[in-house]
């Protein structure tokens, strides 16, 4: 097999699993990531004396390939089970959430699995790729921060959310325009609250229906979390999308009022806000990944594989195998 040089844009779980697999198959991979570190939507926000998982809250594993990966992470303490007391709130009523699902979290933070995958890989952070060109059989990248990337690549993989792939690459391939144009992703307003003391609330996590909040969780109940008592509150996708351009303070006021109604009074807590512009959603048909061998171009990401952490990891892994074929 010929060793190829492959550029991957995006160091979330999909880009990283693709990179790890391609490297194992003998290729040379370089990752370009606009943020300061890997993990994407599996990130953890940090401040002085506190941390909070503000993207993915936990993940499940159902596919045998991903179960194998999770077992390895558990064995090396990258990941652990999280077994909170979960309640459901709907129509002014609380019930206990009963499910057999095993819920996993990164330890000591949600971004640890991504950091583990990224270790040893060539990862260029703070590089927002904003233009692509294909010349003389090679892909060339331009970054907003560093200008032209000097090196050309045999293959290019976009491991970024659908709307961002659309903006970056729709002119290169009509299929990307069609597929990424259907990605239907929604935003998520997220509020992080830090308390001097643990608030008296009758749950550690809650699914909330028919309110502007859809999820509340006590970060401090996850394994190996230290520092200030912290909670994460996430707004529901439809509400978030409708009010995605609203100011942070207005959003916070509305979420805090709803949290109070749910029994989590954040008076006196320190509050931080985060807006995820493309948080969740996927194409209606589950494609798994996209590959255009004639153009030496591929796409992977949760949005091509049903959403969620497991879908992202599998999408990257399967695209890498397809490349090898």
Ligand X SMILES: Cc1cc2nc3c(=O)[nH]c(=O)nc-3n(C[C@H](O)[C@H](O)[C@H](O)COP(=O)(O)OP(=O)(O)OC[C@H]3O[C@@H](n4cnc5c(N)ncnc54)[C@H](O)[C@@H]3O)c2cc1C
Residue 319: phi and psi, rounded to 5, are -65, -40
Paired residues of 155 in beta bridges: 6
CB of residue 266 to ligand X, shortest distance in Å = 18
Q: Which stretch binds ligand X (CB under 6 A): 11-19, 21-29, 205-213, 249-257?
A: 11-19
**Angle of CA points 54, 105, 313, to nearest 5°:** 90
DSSP state string for 249-306:
HHHHHHHHHHHHHTT---TT-EEEEEEEEEEE---SS----EEETTTTEEE--GGGTT
Tokens of 266: 């954040």
Among 112, 230, 234, 254, binds ligand X (CB under 6 A): 234
The answer to the question of residue 183 lying near ligand X (CB under 6 A) is: no
The answer to the question of residue 301 lying near ligand X (CB under 6 A) is: yes
Q: Which stretch binds ligand X (CB under 6 A): 33-41, 83-91, 246-254, 283-291?
A: 33-41
The answer to the question of residue 190 lying near ligand X (CB under 6 A) is: yes
Report 133-162 residues binding ligand X (CB under 6 A).
Answer: 159-161
Among 7, 8, 14, 121, binds ligand X (CB under 6 A): 14
Among 279, 287, 299, 320, binds ligand X (CB under 6 A): 279
CB of residue 125 to ligand X, shortest distance in Å = 9
Tokens of 244: 């995605």
Q: Which of 227, 178, 157 is nearest to 12 (CA)?
A: 157
Tokens of 59: 């993940």
Are the C-beta atoms of 76 and 116 separated by less than 8 Å?
A: yes
Q: Which residues make up the interface to ligand X (CB under 6 A)?
A: 9-15, 32-35, 40-42, 55-59, 128-129, 159-161, 164, 168, 188, 190, 234, 276, 279-280, 301-302, 307-309, 312
């Amino acid at each position: 097999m010929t060793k190829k040089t492959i550029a991957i844009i995006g160091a979330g779980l999909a880009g990283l699993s693709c990179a790890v697999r391609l490297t194992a198959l003998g290729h040379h991979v370089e990752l370009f990531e606009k943020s300061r570190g890997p993990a994407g939507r599996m990130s953890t926000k940090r401040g002085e004396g506190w941390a909070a998982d503000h993207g993915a809250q936990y993940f499940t594993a159902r596919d045998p390939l991903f179960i194998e990966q999770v077992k390895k992470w558990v064995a090396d303490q990258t990941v652990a089970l999280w077994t909170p007391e979960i309640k459901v709130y709907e129509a002014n009523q609380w019930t206990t959430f009963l499910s057999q699902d095993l819920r996993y979290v990164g330890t000591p933070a949600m971004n640890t699995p991504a950091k583990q995958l990224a270790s040893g890989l060539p990862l260029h952070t703070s590089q927002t790729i904003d233009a692509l060109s294909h010349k003389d059989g090679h892909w060339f990248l331009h970054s907003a921060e560093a200008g032209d990337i000097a090196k050309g690549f045999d293959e290019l993989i976009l491991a970024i959310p659908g709307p961002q792939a659309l903006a970056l690459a729709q002119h290169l391939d009509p299929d990307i325009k069609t597929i990424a144009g259907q990605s239907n992703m929604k935003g998520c307003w997220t509020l992080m609250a830090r308390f001097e003391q643990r608030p008296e609330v009758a749950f550690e996590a809650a699914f909330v229906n028919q309110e502007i909040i859809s999820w509340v969780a006590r970060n401090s109940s996850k394994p190996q979390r230290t520092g200030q008592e912290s909670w994460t509150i996430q707004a529901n996708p439809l509400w978030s999308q409708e009010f995605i351009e609203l100011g942070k303070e207005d959003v916070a006021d509305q979420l805090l009022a709803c949290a109070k109604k749910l029994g989590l009074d954040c008076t006196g807590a320190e509050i931080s806000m985060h807006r995820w512009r493309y948080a969740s959603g996927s194409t209606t048909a589950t494609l798994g990944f996209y590959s255009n061998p004639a153009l030496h171009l591929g796409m992977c990401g949760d949005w091509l594989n049903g959403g969620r952490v497991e879908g992202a990891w599998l999408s990257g892994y399967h695209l890498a195998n397809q490349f090898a074929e």
